[in-house]
Amino acid sequence: MRAIERFLHYITVDTASSEESGKHPSTSGQFDLARVLVMDLLRMGISAGDITYDEEHCYVYARLKGNSERDIPAVGFISHLDTSPEASGKNVRTQFVYDYDGGEIELGNGKMLSPSVFPELLLYKGQTLITTDGQTLLGADDKAGIAEIMSMLEYFIENPDIEHGDICVAFTPDEEIGEGTEFFDLKAFGADVAYTVDGGILGEISYENFNAASAKITIKGCNVHPGEAKDKMINSQRIAFEIDGAIPAAERPETTCDREGFFHLCSISGDVSQTTMKYIIRDHDKNLFEEKKERIRKICEKTMAAHPGCGITADISDTYYNMIEKIIPDNKHIVDICKRAMKKDGIEPLDVPVRGGTDGAMLSFKGLPCPNICAGGHNFHGVYEYISVESIEKITKLLSGIVLEFADR
Ligand SMILES: [Zn+2]
């Protein structure tokens, strides 16, 4: 029961991050949870010398030293303190649905959690679900991950006869705004390999994510009084339409899934004389990713050539890369070990390519190979978020199983 109690405690702390604050961490509530975790770590018996709390940037690292004579790799687990700014995380009020019958769940505040909209609910028939009251997100993303990691640590502290290597844990701020690894201290963390525990459904394992770039296209036109514009005016907004029109509709977020990449027009603003378009470009495949960047450059060149007198610049920069190239060639055992631990617990592993980036992808490119595994929740970032008690318990056990697999190798 302790992982559940921890989870229910952690979600009482409002840790929503903020895109706007410009601070690190972006919000002060994350400090509150970091301090709770430091206290919990001390209370469960991690010595103060094995806890590093970066009070400036709000990172918590802790280590349970190995008890083996053998040389066992230090395995790490990471989850994030913040919740998404897309929904409130303040005054989270949970509801328990015992022995779920597969029907509609009334959350309150006019919100229904219904299997006709969220068919995965049916997987949880007979289980105990934790939902919101329809006003806030739940915070299973990623406080379920934190609770599972903490309870796994406690298990090894309470069972000192079980042989294991160093277990390193880290709790990081601002994952939801893409800044989770900004000040991550690999040395303080001390793991040889790690997992972010930040995925969804039980069994999920991800070691692929997008390659990502952003493109800012600036179009300069020529403004003339519309009454005298013939053969003189160049309307930068119309040129923007042409550029976007050259990108096939089949390569948009709303028309793609799985490993299909896309161009996403995030924003467009301007007037006759100047228009700015912002795209993000995504593809799992490195070659297709490069091709997409090249294509948008070419489209801009061609459009500029077709409109003498207009100016088009495309600033394209890479944001992050697919971690698969850091995991599969040289570190596939990290994936295999996790899958073995899952199978031993009767969990069917599900390979899920992430249609986004992960903190683990960033860390993989900093030298710490780091796939992402399930934390158990569903419908992240909104009021329909839920998790089952059974998933939290199983994932807590799975994390211990992974540690044991490393010790066995
Ligand atoms: Zn998350």
175 included as an active-site residue:
yes
CATH number, domain of 283, equals 3.30.70.360
The catalytic residue among 141, 175, 251, 385 is 175
Distance 198 CA to ligand 1 centre (A): 5
Percentage of the chain modeled with pLDDT above 70:
100
19-43 residues labelled b (16+ CB within 10 A) or e (exposed): eeeeeebbbebbbbbbebbbebbee
Per-residue pLDDT of 272-307, as tens digits, reads: 999 999 999 999 999 999 999 999 999 999 999 999
| Full residue range of the structural domain in which residue 261 is found | 211-320
CB 197 within 8 A of CB 374: yes
| Whether pLDDT at 409 is above 60 | no
User: Are 32 and 98 members of one domain?
Assistant: yes
Distance 232 CA to ligand 1 centre (A): 52
336 included as an active-site residue:
no
Distance 260 CA to ligand 1 centre (A): 22
The helix/strand count (H/E) of the chain reads as 9, 17
User: Are 160 and 296 members of one domain?
Assistant: no
CATH number, domain of 98, equals 3.40.630.10
| Whether pLDDT at 1 is above 70 | no
User: Are 238 and 327 members of one domain?
Assistant: no
User: Are 40 and 165 members of one domain?
Assistant: yes
Per-residue pLDDT of 203-250, as tens digits, reads: 999 999 999 999 999 999 999 999 999 999 999 999 999 999 999 999
Listed residues 320, 355, 376: the one ending a domain: 320
**Count of Cβ atoms closer than 10 Å to residue 367 Cβ:** 9
Distance CA 189, CA 173 (A): 15
CA angle 15, 373, 42 (to 5 degrees): 50
User: Are 234 and 106 members of one domain?
Assistant: no
User: Are 81 and 103 members of one domain?
Assistant: yes
Distance 175 CA to ligand 1 centre (A): 7
User: Are 55 and 195 members of one domain?
Assistant: yes
Distance 405 CA to ligand 1 centre (A): 25
User: Are 228 and 361 members of one domain?
Assistant: no
The catalytic residue among 40, 82, 142, 359 is 82
Looking at the structure of the chain, the number of domains it has is 2
Per-residue pLDDT of 94-131, as tens digits, reads: 999 999 999 999 999 899 999 999 999 999 999 999 99
User: Are 14 and 147 members of one domain?
Assistant: yes
Distance CA 57, CA 243 (A): 41
CB 128 within 8 A of CB 99: yes
Q: Rounded to two decimals, what is the model's pTM?
A: 0.92
Residue position matching structure tokens 């961490």: 25
User: Are 252 and 137 members of one domain?
Assistant: no
CB 169 within 8 A of CB 61: yes
* Average of per-residue pLDDT values in the chain: 97
Distance 38 CA to ligand 1 centre (A): 20
Distance 39 CA to ligand 1 centre (A): 23
